[in-house]
């Protein structure tokens, strides 16, 4: 299966490259152990006998360089990963592990490989005609002076509103459970962007440090808790804004295996007028903890 999906990327001449099976096994090890650095991933795999057994490398055999993992991931791209995901999904369906009737959906922040220190302030444009140009260009790297002023006013209000709260006077030496600095400075996606990763967005959860993240969206079948759909989006979006994309993707994956999606389970973050309108048009039944529902 792996060799078939990646055959177009390999020739018969030149130095032998990494075995596709080994590459995907190493990626799986990184995912299961939450290792998002290829250098650290190879170091971890080299030092673990169980991982060496899993990827079939002897104890004295050198593993691929971390740069090989990075280049191979870029070479394959999204298409190969999606092809393999669908192939695994077909196997699960054939084994009766997916019922398909009810799908539970949720989201998670995925830490971007970019530092908050990489944030720079967007270029401030003059208003009026400059604002029109910004809309036409849909620029991610510029902002109008009016928008910047509104964001600064909002941050000033937050600073004043939280002044009397516990720990409000601490000056930035607090860290979260992962050792990330909880910064007192307010930064916004409207006024700042990352130089190293333009897809990363500033986002935060209560009690956590403000970080640059991606937005992972997952659909899981309720029979054996297998993933039936996965996609990513910008972390400054709301769950309800990502619902349509996720439902269409999951529904397509199930229909390829002769299964129809009947019900969705979701939390209150997916509840909005637009989301409910979309689901009503799709004639899906939706249930979640706050009991908003649409009957088929």
What is the pLDDT, as a whole number, of residue 284? 45
Look up the pTM and report it. Answer: 0.69
Percentage, residues of the chain above pLDDT 90: 40
Read off the pLDDT of each residue in 249-277 and give the average, rounded to a whole number. 90
**pLDDT class for 68, splitting at 50, 70, 90?**
very high
d(CA 187, CA 121): 9
pLDDT band at 191 (very low <50, low <70, confident <90, very high): confident
Strands 263-265 and 285-287, how do they pair? Answer: parallel
Position 296 scores a pLDDT of 33
Architecture of domain 102-110+215-287: 2-Layer Sandwich (3.30)
- Residue 77's region, left for phi above 0, alpha for psi from -120 to 50, else beta, is left
Q: Per mean pLDDT, which range of 9-18, 24-33, 147-156, 282-291 is the poorest?
A: 282-291
Q: Kindly report, as residue ranges, where domains of CATH 3.30.420 are found in the chain.
A: 102-110+215-287
Assign 3-class secondary structure to the chain: CHHHHHHHHCCCCCCCCCCHHHHHHHHHHHHHCCCCCHHHHHHHHHHCHHHHHHHCCCCCCCCCCHHHHHHHHHHHHHHHHHHHHHHHHHHHHHCCCCCCCEEEEEEEEEECCCCHHHEEECEEECCCHHHHHHHHHCCCCEEEHHHHHHHHHHHHHHHHHCCCCCCCCCCCCCECCCCCECCCCCCCCCCEEECCCCCCEEECCCCCCCEEEEEEEEEEECCCCCEEEEEEEECCCCHHHHHHHHHHHHHHHHHCCCCCCCEEECCHHHCCHHHHHHHHHHCCEEECCCCCCCCC
> What's the rounded mean pLDDT across residues 93-107?
91
Q: Is 59's pLDDT higher than 90?
A: yes
What's the pLDDT band for 293 if we cut at 50, 70, 90? very low
Q: Determine the average pLDDT of the residues in 58-85.
A: 91
* Lowest model confidence (mean pLDDT) among 126-130, 235-239, 251-255: 126-130
Angle at 186 between CA 184 and CA 187, to 5 degrees: 135
Model pLDDT, residue 100: 84
pLDDT of 184 > 60? The answer is: no
- The per-residue pLDDT for 178 is 57
pLDDT for position 125: 47
Residue with token string 């403000």: 210
């Amino acid at each position: 299966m792996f060799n078939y999906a990646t055959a177009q990327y390999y020739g018969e001449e030149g130095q032998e490259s990494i075995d596709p099976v080994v590459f995907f096994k190493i990626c799986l090890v990184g995912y299961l152990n939450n290792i998002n650095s290829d250098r650290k991933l190879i170091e971890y795999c080299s030092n673990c006998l169980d991982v060496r057994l899993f990827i079939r490398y002897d104890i004295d055999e050198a593993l691929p360089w971390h740069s090989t993992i990075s280049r191979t991931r870029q070479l394959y791209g999204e298409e190969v990963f999606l092809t393999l995901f669908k192939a695994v999904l077909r196997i699960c369906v054939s084994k009766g592990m997916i019922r398909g009737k009810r799908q539970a959906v949720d989201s998670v922040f995925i830490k971007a490989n970019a530092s908050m220190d990489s944030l720079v302030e967007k270029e401030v444009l003059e208003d009026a005609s400059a604002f029109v140009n910004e809309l036409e260009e849909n620029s991610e790297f510029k902002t109008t002076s009016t928008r910047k002023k509104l964001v600064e006013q909002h941050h000033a209000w937050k600073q004043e509103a939280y002044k009397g709260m516990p720990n409000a006077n601490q000056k930035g030496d607090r860290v979260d459970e992962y050792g990330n600095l909880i910064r007192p400075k307010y930064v916004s996606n409207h006024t700042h962007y990352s130089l190293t990763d333009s897809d990363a967005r500033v986002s935060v959860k209560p009690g956590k440090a403000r970080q640059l993240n991606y937005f992972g969206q997952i659909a899981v079948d309720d029979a054996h808790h297998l993933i039936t759909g996965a996609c990513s989006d910008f972390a400054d979006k709301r769950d309800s804004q990502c619902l349509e994309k996720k439902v269409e993707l999951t529904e397509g994956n199930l229909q390829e295996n002769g299964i129809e999606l009947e019900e969705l389970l979701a939390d209150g973050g997916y509840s909005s007028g637009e989301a409910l309108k979309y689901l009503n048009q799709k004639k899906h039944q939706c249930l979640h903890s706050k009991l908003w529902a649409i009957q088929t």
